Amino acid sequence: MSDHFQLVCRVPRAMASLEEQFGSLVRHHRERLGMSQQDLGDLVDRTAVTIGRIERGESSPMFEALAIFASALKVDVRELFGIGDYAAQAGRDDPLVSIVQRLSTLGPDDLAFIDEMISAALKLRRSS
């Protein structure tokens, strides 16, 4: 294992709030559709500033607005709280939280590159 990998793994993770995890998933779905914050704001009757605050976990929509957000993002409401086996939960503190938050800011080309890197790393790990 390289020194760089060990050093990165020792960096403490901050516990992500449910709002931060939710916001990361909103950002992921918005960018997946190629929407700007303004585009999404127009669809859900919010300002781009408010969408930015939601995506950063500084604010969250009222329960009644979740269906409106899901419809605008073309997902089921449950997909605003998880992807695959990942489920947002209050006080979640594990590497998957920071991975989801980081990935939610990337575009399709970067996501494809990261996917290839993960596949290669897992293949290498399984062979050792």
Rounded Cα–Cα distance for residues 68 and 1 (Å)? 47
Specify the residue for token string 């449950």: 78
Q: pLDDT per residue over 13-40, tens digit each? A: 445 677 888 888 899 889 889 999 999 9
Q: pLDDT per residue over 83-107, tens digit each? A: 666 666 666 666 776 777 778 777 8
Pull the structure tokens for residue 89.
């939960």
Q: What is the pTM of this model?
A: 0.59
Rounded Cα–Cα distance for residues 30 and 37 (Å)? 8
- Smallest CA-to-CA distance from 27 within 47, 57, 68, 64 is with 57
Residue 97 phi/psi, 5° resolution? -60, -50
